[in-house]
Structure 1
Amino acid sequence: MSVRLIVRTFSELCITIGALIVLFVVYVLFWTGVKAAGATEGQIDDLQRQWARGTVSAPAPSASPTAPPNAPSSPGPKPPAPKAYRDGKPFAMLYVPRFGKGWEWPVLENTEVKTLQKGLGHYRGTARPGATGNFAVAGHRRTYGDPFKDFPKLRPGDPVLLTDGTTWFTYRIDKKPYRTVPSDIGVIDPVPRKSGFDGPGRYLTLTTCEPEWGSSHRLIAWAHLDATQPVTEGRPAAFHS
């Protein structure tokens, strides 16, 4: 084999590898975002149809966020248990004004790979919106629409708003994002460990990957329920705070 043939073969191999790398980068940076946009719009449309038909989950208890979770209940028949969320299906919308005016993402049940390609994922088994316990949500930092790209910008007092079609829940971030490892599952406990919360309450936990283009660690943000109001009263003032 001549030197010229070896050089030409090696050059063609380098060009092929380079083209594959470029295609992969385009897929990661662009195509996953396109797919996510279409999938997310579909989930939002699905939610809006559910809400228009009135087929949403039962609202959370209307007790004040500051009321003791074990306070005696008023006499009367026990309300029916709310329906379980359907795996991989949307049941709420999440808004974080800190991430921009148009930032809105559907929340789906479970945190499987295919679910997180369509929106945010609710950790199965954690609390429902507004309920006592910890409503925990995961989302991609990068790819599939980059929902939590700006996660490090969260600051204490920032509102995180959630609606299930009947009620608005306004949570407030308690501290700057906390960095940990994927095996630290205590961060989504009913009273999340290392959060600073010292007892039962109505909490929210957001999780995403760290670093921005990796997954060796996790960023965590904790919030507490600050206010609730029926959707019939319009959007909460926290959208503008």
Structure 2
Amino acid sequence: MSRAAPPPRRSVLAGFLSLLGELLITVGLVLGLFVAYSLWWTNVLADRDASARGDAIREQWEQPATAPSAPAEPGALDTQGGIGFLHVPAMKNGEVLVKRGTQSEVINEGVAGYYTDPIKSALPWDATGNFTLAAHRDGHGAKFHDIDKLGKGDAVVFETRDTWYVYKVFAELKQTSRYDVDAISPVPKESGKTAPGRYITLTTCTPVYTSKYRYIVWGELVRTEKVDDKRTLPAELR
């Protein structure tokens, strides 16, 4: 009887290619999981945290006031939770809790933060100044993801315990350097303004999923409304 021929030996090259293919698949899966974590799961965690903080602020507002809610100096109103809520109908991002600071540990909580550095932000109740805010465009709540949907005349509303501050968008800068501090100056001249006023500035990273540049939107206060007992929304939010 003839002996069966031995099975062909696998070449070294074939073994290497097979191992490389398995490694690439593994790397692809890891990268996919990282992307899912960065762009989805961080949103879930941030939104959950911001919602809890927002609820705590609203519960606090329901208690009898023990001090004025519009102090003269930025930061004097700050609590551990935040100072109020931003509403931007064109961005369809719901209400956004606003806290002090723009460090990653602040805005990673799914909130917008107001600048304390390099230029200190004014607050809405100040007689003049620029209320300057930053939030993420992707991941960690992505509260300013749809900033490019804002256009001239769109409403931006800030809500405190006792007052609605209604702004209207008048200018935007779709791309500028991350070091462009003039965009958040008290009189943002890049917006076309040359005199003190009561402004709001929204800033975020651009293009989407990068942090190379900054996208800027400017608004100007057009009126204020006192909050009534039912917290009736201003016309722009109905």
Shorter-chain TM-score bucket reads: 0.7 to 0.9
Whether the 8 Å CA contact 1:92–1:163 is kept in 2: the answer is yes
Count of aligned residue pairs for this structure pair = 221
- The 5 Å alignment of 1:142-221 reads 142-221=138-217
What's the secondary structure of 2:124's corresponding residue? Answer: coil
Whether the 8 Å CA contact 1:85–1:109 is kept in 2: the answer is no
Match of 1:140 in 2: 136
* Post-superposition offset of 1:145: 2.1
Match of 1:39 in 2: 49
Residues 66-122 of structure 1, C-alpha deviation per residue, up to 9 Å, x if partnerless?
xxxxxxxxxxxxx9868624486411100011122x621100110010111121111
Alignment partners' CA distance in 1, 2:73 and 2:54: 25
Whether the 8 Å CA contact 2:133–2:203 is kept in 1: the answer is yes
Residues 139-159 of structure 1, C-alpha deviation per residue, up to 9 Å, x if partnerless?
111112221111111111111
Aligned AA (1:237): A
Aligned AA (2:236): A
Structure 1 regions of 5+ residues with no counterpart? 61-78
Moved more, 112-121 or 7-16: 7-16
Q: 1:88 to 1:152 in 2, by over 3 A?
A: farther
Q: 1:180 to 1:108 in 2, by over 3 A?
A: same
RMSD: 2.3
Counterpart selection for 2:99 from 79, 86, 108: 108
* Post-superposition offset of 1:8: 2.9
* Post-superposition offset of 1:226: 0.6
Q: Does 1:16 align with 2:7?
A: no
Alignment partners' CA distance in 1, 2:159 and 2:221: 13
* Post-superposition offset of 1:237: 1.3
Match of 2:85 in 1: 93
Q: Does 1:122 align with 2:132?
A: no
Structure 2 regions of 5+ residues with no counterpart? 1-10
What's the secondary structure of 2:90's corresponding residue? Answer: helix
User: Which structure's CA Rg is the greater one?
Assistant: 2
Alignment partners' CA distance in 2, 1:87 and 1:185: 27
Aligned AA (1:186): D
* Post-superposition offset of 1:181: 0.6
Residues 148-203 of structure 1, C-alpha deviation per residue, up to 9 Å, x if partnerless?
11111111111100111111100110124442111101111111131111211111
Whether the 8 Å CA contact 1:85–1:91 is kept in 2: the answer is yes
Identity %: 34
What's the secondary structure of 1:90's corresponding residue? Answer: coil
What's the secondary structure of 2:194's corresponding residue? Answer: coil
